[in-house]
């Protein structure tokens, strides 16, 4: 019996959410050792190397490539660096739910380019505020409010990047090529910044190339992005975003199961509100 296309798309979205949740937990020890900037340089480098050959075969010569590059600079360069720094400060259980408010923020920003404001989207915005307030009142959020601020700043950058990548998708750029251009652009900018700041990038490369970081980065930035693009194409935006929006709870569960964190009830409740907000906005 053949699977329904929508079911395949939802399975792809769920797989992307699980990949991104695991990657967020897996990055934490590297962030603690190397810092957010060096980790982001390494992950964009490894993801670019993984995607370069199929991207060239699929084609890069499209006007939409410029939008993908701009999205990479904003969302992967600025947004992901702040996101990783937030994980280093307040942990996955707080950083992921707060930063995933970008889904609602992106929809609100899209109103400027013609999207319609619905009552459920407006209510979703209210629930996102409530969920963020709850998470920030947890033990980690109260102890390090800078981590909350970084996660919120990452959400804004991701939302801007999300609007840009929609334009690139409409322009016909393949998901793999888009992932490569985004990672490569962010990596070049971050590497230049790292060299200017005197970061020991060569040392970081030599000490991480034989670890799990290259595989995690490739799965995160290349594999997860391709799965997400497949979900959007097969299941549509609404179904895909509802499934992807559950990622904060997956991240908290993986962090708890791996023993790296013990999310508090307040943090879980806040993450749940944010997940519900996304589901309502796209229902």
Q: Say how many C-beta atoms besides its own lie within 10 A of residue 49's C-beta.
A: 17
Query: What pLDDT does residue 170 have?
Result: 59
Task: Give, as one character, the DSSP assignment of residue 211.
Answer: S
pTM beyond 0.75: the answer is: yes
Average pLDDT over every residue of 205-214: 95
Closest CA to 194 of 72, 36, 80: 36
Q: Dump pLDDT digits (tens) for 45-75.
A: 999 998 888 888 877 766 778 888 898 999 9
Q: Are 149 and 136 in contact (CB under 8 A)?
A: no
Q: Dump pLDDT digits (tens) for 81-99.
A: 999 999 999 999 999 999 9
Query: What pLDDT does residue 112 have?
Result: 67
Query: What pLDDT does residue 5 have?
Result: 67
Query: What pLDDT does residue 114 have?
Result: 66
Q: Which helix H or strand E contains 21, and what residues bound it? A: helix 5-34
Q: Dump pLDDT digits (tens) for 105-142.
A: 887 777 766 667 788 888 888 889 899 999 988 888 88
Residue 180 has pLDDT above 90, yes or no: no
CA 282 – CA 158 distance, rounded (Å):
18
Residue 1 has pLDDT above 50, yes or no: no
């Amino acid at each position: 019996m053949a699977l329904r296309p929508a079911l395949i798309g939802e399975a792809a979205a769920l797989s992307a959410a699980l990949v991104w949740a695991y990657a967020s937990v897996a990055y934490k020890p590297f962030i603690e050792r190397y810092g957010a900037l060096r980790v982001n340089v390494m992950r964009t480098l490894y993801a670019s190397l993984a995607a370069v050959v199929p991207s060239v075969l699929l084609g890069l010569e499209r006007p939409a490539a410029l939008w993908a590059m701009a999205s990479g600079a904003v969302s992967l360069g600025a947004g992901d660096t702040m996101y990783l720094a937030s994980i280093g400060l307040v942990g996955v259980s707080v950083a992921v739910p707060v930063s995933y408010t970008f889904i609602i923020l992106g929809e609100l920003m899209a109103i400027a380019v013609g999207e319609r404001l619905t009552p459920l989207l407006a209510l979703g915005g209210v629930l996102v505020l409530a969920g963020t307030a709850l998470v920030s009142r947890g033990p980690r959020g109260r102890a390090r409010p800078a981590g909350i601020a970084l996660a919120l700043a990452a959400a804004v950058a991701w939302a801007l990047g999300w609007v840009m990548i929609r334009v690139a998708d409409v322009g016909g750029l393949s998901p793999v090529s888009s992932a490569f251009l985004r990672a490569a652009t962010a990596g070049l900018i971050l590497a230049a910044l790292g060299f200017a700041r005197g970061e020991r990038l060569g040392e970081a490369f030599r000490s991480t190339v034989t670890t799990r970081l290259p595989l995690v980065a490739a799965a995160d930035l290349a594999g997860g992005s391709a799965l997400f693009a497949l979900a959007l194409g097969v299941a549509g935006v609404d179904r895909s975003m509802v499934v992807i929006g559950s990622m904060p709870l997956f991240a908290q569960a993986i962090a708890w199961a791996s023993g790296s964190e013990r999310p508090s009830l307040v943090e879980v409740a806040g993450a749940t509100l944010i997940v519900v907000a996304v589901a309502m906005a796209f229902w």
